[in-house]
Structure 1
Amino acid sequence: MTTEQQAGCSIRLPEQSSAAQLAVLQVHQRDNVLVALQALQAGEPLPAPFSHLSAQTAVPAGHKLALTAIAAGEPVLKYGFAIGRATQPIAAGEHVHSHNLATALSGTIEYSYTGCQAPALSFPADLPQSFQGYRRSNGKVGTRNELWIINTVGCVNRAAMRVAEQARQHYADLLALKNIDGIHAFTHPFGCSQLGDDLDHTRQLLAGLIQHPNAGAVLILGLGCENNQLARLLQACPDVDSSRIRAFNAQQVEDEVEQGLAAVGELLQLMANDQRSACPVSELVLGMKCGGSDGFSGLTANALVGRTADLLAAAGGKVVLTETPEMFGAEQVFMARAANQQVFADLVTLVNDFKQYFIDNQQPVYENPSPGNKDGGLTTLEEKSLGAIQKGGSAVVQQIIRYGEQAHAAGLTLLEGPGNDAVSSTALTAAGATLLLFTTGRGTPLGFPAPTVKIASNSNLAARKPQWIDYDAGQLLQVGQDAQQFTGQFFRYLLAVASGERTRNEISDNREIAIWKNGVTL
């Protein structure tokens, strides 16, 4: 990989994109494949500037076809990088997918630090520089003012849910106030029979939620005999306003639901005085996630989110990206943007530790994308990873954090976590993300504690699932679309969401958490 390639691989569509007039798109000038923007029939000629070619076979939308003849064993290039090697000769115009392309990844990789090669970023003067947020006593800023109910152990899940359900009815007058955004219980099955690091991960993840600035107050409900003891959990939450916390063990009170309702009433009275105020965009924390990707994800939705990440990083805000295994095959792009030698070393350790996690569990490190991803046109892990990391933009990597830890550095932070949508999105929230940007090519109704902005990679999905999708990034491929202007419009929309405009997951009340269980259960 050359220095130029290591520095980044962000998609740069033309200022006035004419992609919608084309049947295909060459993502990067070095690429030897094209991406079909619509389904192609066998023998269908391609328009200029590829009019010397015709599709040799049928090619589904989002899939690849060869721009030039590719010999067996030759690298196949997309985003300007190798996404694998041809397993047989491929003719120009031929469909390129699992039948003739395979990963080139295997074994271990030697990494070396050659200095930070990230480009300089600037925040446009014509974009808003503030939003209406909730300033907390510790200086953090939330985008919502909600009361969260967090339980130490799965044994009290139903009790926590009953408290939330009854509280919404009992305190309807307070909830009618515009400055209280809701009461939500986030339940989970863990906290008992866990040991060592596994227990610590659960405790740390829950502590991150308890300290989240979107929670104007928190009720913590324990049982009493669980491994995840309430006292230890509270000790793991140093960055909270103790007046906004109520906690008790169900075994130590007569009626846990009645006790919980009373505690919620006290907390809501405190929250009733909270007001939104103008806060600089540097106070935003964005969590970036993709789920159910397709062949357009890296071209539209992920690229849009990456440009947004660059805007926020330039403004001094925080951007958090996770899904460690979806960096495999593209990790050197981030390594070339490490702020210093220590961040580089931390990233190498993060990647190698996660690869070892796969090996310890006797799973292939370089597994191909899921069946859904393959149907959408993604063939190899390199291709999926290069598309996925578009969400990280081109900013300097300032910090590497482990699962359950919180982001504290302005700029781009990489967070340890699996690709699983629920687990990684919960980890992003616990890391401090006050908005989640979730890109998808196939759609999902999932939502999480922080407002979850669903961004469709293609306009068909946005039209079919308006109850899931908040923003249609497929519009980036329309005639005359200006990528920079489109990103500015999206950034303004995010500031509206940060200021209180509800997302589809909030309207549908799709909110949940999932904890990464990776240890022994007694």
Structure 2
Amino acid sequence: MTIRALRLSESDDVAVVTVAVSPGDTVLGVVATDSVPAGHKIALRRIGAGEVVRKYAQPIGVAAADIAVGQHVHSHNLALGDHRAGTIGGTVPAAQPDPVLTPEKSGFAGYLRASGDVGTRNAIGVIASVNCSATVVQRIARQFENRLPPGVDAVVPLTHSSGCGMSRSGDGFETLERTLVGYARNPNFGGVLMIGLGCEVAQIDDMLARHGLEPGPRLRTLTIQGAGGTAQAIAQGTAIVAELAEEAATDRRTMRPASDLILGLQCGGSDAWSGVTANPALGAATDLLVAAGGTAFLSETPEIYGAEHLLLARAANPDVARALEARIAWWEEYAARNGASLDNNPSPGNKAGGLTTIFEKSLGAVAKAGTAPLSDVLLYAERRRTHGLVFMDSPGYDPCSATGQVASGANLLAFTTGRGSVFGGRTTPCLKLASNAALARAMADDIDIDCSAVLDGVSVAEMGARIFDMMLKTASGQPTKSEVLGVGDFEFVPWQLGAWM
């Protein structure tokens, strides 16, 4: 019996089986000696203990024991070793030609804001500066359920667990401030109300002034203490949001070039197919967007670990390369300081899906960034400075990473998944891309695009073109599956750094 399997490069030591393999089955001319679950790796040659093991033509670790031809290759016999992937034979693929765009696939209907940025949605944001105002924010948003004026997509409550009990300087405060201000200026909002308690560390007026924002008709502020208490704050805030919604209802979509799209790239609940189907296909769509002058944010720094040499080789200049190296070094020190290792990744679900080491996971994750040059490196939630492929530092935790991307200006998100994810965004629409057909069927209400057709002969380039087309339709107002479900009220998760006092 011959079992279908994929050898992703001629130099690979392993193949990925597409269906479960039993001992005695033949895979690419190799007789299996073990049971190998679908999506997992089988050895194509004898690999001695300590030898580098390659997939994607890149090192994914070293053999922790002798591995015979036909054996299952996974956590029991594959480890990271003592070296970074880029120092043990990692190679850089040749540059790909720029993709060709047709005129009908180069624009979308968006909301041009006074700032010059363009929104893909027209929502009202109600943002808590501190956890103390979270209940008031939620109660105000609740008043507008099922009674929004036509043309306004949602009233979005954004609450968190910080804003006080912290130093007014340092990484923790600065990161929170960038996040809150970034959301206040995101073009998917037609109006914003920021609400504080009044005595917190994260003072709204100071925060806005430091980032060049001023209250006005589309950006309003309120404190509970200044309003006269909870009930008064809810009443006054409700009236303000009604005014903002009335103003935003006059906004109209106009045709905009794809260069106005800012795409946040995410992957979560990954499996072995993520790096074969969904992530490369999203990478092809990313290349189309960058070729059209748009911007894409790659993030999740712990999940590029082991594949950073591929990005460093694509850095637009030495300063960009040094900035990325600095973020990798910061994460190594941060993990060590907290008694952790960057190889705490992959998660149990990732490993069950066939991913063994962080190098393997990272190589698949980086594929969603396509082949464009790396034009800039940003801190978490730092405002975008340039077009093209940009790296924004963030944890690998998906809601936290996506929160930073939206704060940096993302007006659209694309999220690949192999095990299944239910992330959604009401501020910024999120397209969900499945890596395999079983997931696409099982979670059809959550998945927007099934990328498994790549396993059936559809080219990565063609699947990327389909994704790009869906991106433009979504940016023009077509709802995502998560928007239809109403997901997104609780996915605002700012990165919490520094000491709490």
With the length of structure 1 as denominator, give the TM-score of the two structures.
Answer: 0.90
Per the alignment, residue 454 of structure 1 pairs with 432
Code of the aligned partner of 1:164: A
Please give the alpha-carbon distance, in whole angstroms, between the structure 2 residues aligned to 1:276 and 1:108.
47
Q: Does 1:476 align with 2:437?
A: no
Structure-2 change in CA distance of 1:116 and 1:246 (3 Å): farther
Please give the alpha-carbon distance, in whole angstroms, between the structure 2 residues aligned to 1:404 and 1:433.
10
Q: For residues 68-115 of structure 1, what are the alpha-carbon distances to aligned partners after superposition, in whole Å with 9 as ceiling and x for unaligned?
A: 12122211110001111112221222111111111134489889xxx9
**SS at the partner of 1:300?**
helix
- What is the CA distance between 1:503 and its match in structure 2? 1.0
Q: Among residues 116, 122, 129, which one is paired with 1:152 in the alignment?
A: 129
Please give the alpha-carbon distance, in whole angstroms, between the structure 1 residues aligned to 2:374 and 2:96.
12
**Comparing 388-397 and 353-362, the one that deviates more:** 353-362
- What is the CA distance between 1:230 and its match in structure 2? 1.4
**SS at the partner of 2:465?**
helix
Per the alignment, residue 180 of structure 2 pairs with 206
Q: Would the aligned equivalents of 2:3 and 2:26 in 1 still touch at CA under 8 Å?
A: no
Q: Does 1:56 align with 2:30?
A: no
Per the alignment, residue 18 of structure 1 pairs with none
Q: Would the aligned equivalents of 2:270 and 2:418 in 1 still touch at CA under 8 Å?
A: yes
**SS at the partner of 1:167?**
coil
- What is the CA distance between 1:132 and its match in structure 2? 0.6
Please give the alpha-carbon distance, in whole angstroms, between the structure 2 residues aligned to 1:220 and 1:241.
10
Q: Among residues 187, 191, 196, which one is paired with 2:163 in the alignment?
A: 191
- What is the CA distance between 1:116 and its match in structure 2? 12
Q: Would the aligned equivalents of 1:310 and 1:395 in 2 still touch at CA under 8 Å?
A: yes
Please give the alpha-carbon distance, in whole angstroms, between the structure 1 residues aligned to 2:337 and 2:276.
34
Q: For residues 198-240 of structure 1, what are the alpha-carbon distances to aligned partners after superposition, in whole Å with 9 as ceiling and x for unaligned?
A: 1121111110000000011001111101100111222244267
Please give the alpha-carbon distance, in whole angstroms, between the structure 2 residues aligned to 1:491 and 1:108.
31
Q: Would the aligned equivalents of 1:118 and 1:396 in 2 still touch at CA under 8 Å?
A: no
Per the alignment, residue 15 of structure 1 pairs with none
Code of the aligned partner of 1:284: L
Please give the alpha-carbon distance, in whole angstroms, between the structure 2 residues aligned to 1:43 and 1:110.
37
Q: Does 1:510 align with 2:484?
A: no
Per the alignment, residue 410 of structure 2 pairs with 433
Q: Would the aligned equivalents of 2:39 and 2:271 in 1 still touch at CA under 8 Å?
A: yes
Q: Does 1:26 align with 2:7?
A: yes
Structure-2 change in CA distance of 1:306 and 1:108 (3 Å): closer
**SS at the partner of 2:431?**
strand
**SS at the partner of 1:491?**
helix
**Comparing 304-313 and 366-375, the one that deviates more:** 366-375
Per the alignment, residue 16 of structure 1 pairs with none
**SS at the partner of 2:68?**
coil
With the length of structure 2 as denominator, give the TM-score of the two structures.
Answer: 0.94
- What is the CA distance between 1:494 and its match in structure 2? 1.1
Identity %: 39
Please give the alpha-carbon distance, in whole angstroms, between the structure 1 residues aligned to 2:361 and 2:435.
14
Q: Would the aligned equivalents of 1:25 and 1:36 in 2 still touch at CA under 8 Å?
A: yes
Please give the alpha-carbon distance, in whole angstroms, between the structure 2 residues aligned to 1:119 and 1:188.
42
Q: Which runs of 5 or more residues in structure 2 are unaligned?
A: none
Q: Would the aligned equivalents of 2:218 and 2:244 in 1 still touch at CA under 8 Å?
A: yes
Q: For residues 22-68 of structure 1, what are the alpha-carbon distances to aligned partners after superposition, in whole Å with 9 as ceiling and x for unaligned?
A: 6200111211100011111221123xxx2x32221111011000111
**SS at the partner of 1:134?**
strand
Structure-2 change in CA distance of 1:264 and 1:495 (3 Å): same
Tell me the number of residue pairs that the alignment of Structure 1 and Structure 2 aligns.
Answer: 490
Q: For residues 303-329 of structure 1, what are the alpha-carbon distances to aligned partners after superposition, in whole Å with 9 as ceiling and x for unaligned?
A: 111111111111110010111111111
Please give the alpha-carbon distance, in whole angstroms, between the structure 1 residues aligned to 2:395 and 2:376.
18
Q: Among residues 207, 210, 227, which one is paired with 2:201 in the alignment?
A: 227
Code of the aligned partner of 1:443: G
Structure-2 change in CA distance of 1:266 and 1:311 (3 Å): same
Please give the alpha-carbon distance, in whole angstroms, between the structure 2 residues aligned to 1:300 and 1:141.
30
**SS at the partner of 2:42?**
strand
- What is the CA distance between 1:502 and its match in structure 2? 0.8
Structure-2 change in CA distance of 1:34 and 1:384 (3 Å): same
Please give the alpha-carbon distance, in whole angstroms, between the structure 1 residues aligned to 2:399 and 2:198.
27
Structure-2 change in CA distance of 1:44 and 1:241 (3 Å): farther
Code of the aligned partner of 1:415: M
Q: Would the aligned equivalents of 1:138 and 1:240 in 2 still touch at CA under 8 Å?
A: no
Please give the alpha-carbon distance, in whole angstroms, between the structure 2 residues aligned to 1:106 and 1:85.
9
Please give the alpha-carbon distance, in whole angstroms, between the structure 1 residues aligned to 2:410 and 2:460.
25
Please give the alpha-carbon distance, in whole angstroms, between the structure 1 residues aligned to 2:16 and 2:118.
41
**SS at the partner of 1:287?**
strand
Q: For residues 260-284 of structure 1, what are the alpha-carbon distances to aligned partners after superposition, in whole Å with 9 as ceiling and x for unaligned?
A: 1110121112111100010001110
**SS at the partner of 1:98?**
coil
Superposed CA RMSD:
2.1
Please give the alpha-carbon distance, in whole angstroms, between the structure 2 residues aligned to 1:221 and 1:69.
63
**SS at the partner of 1:147?**
strand
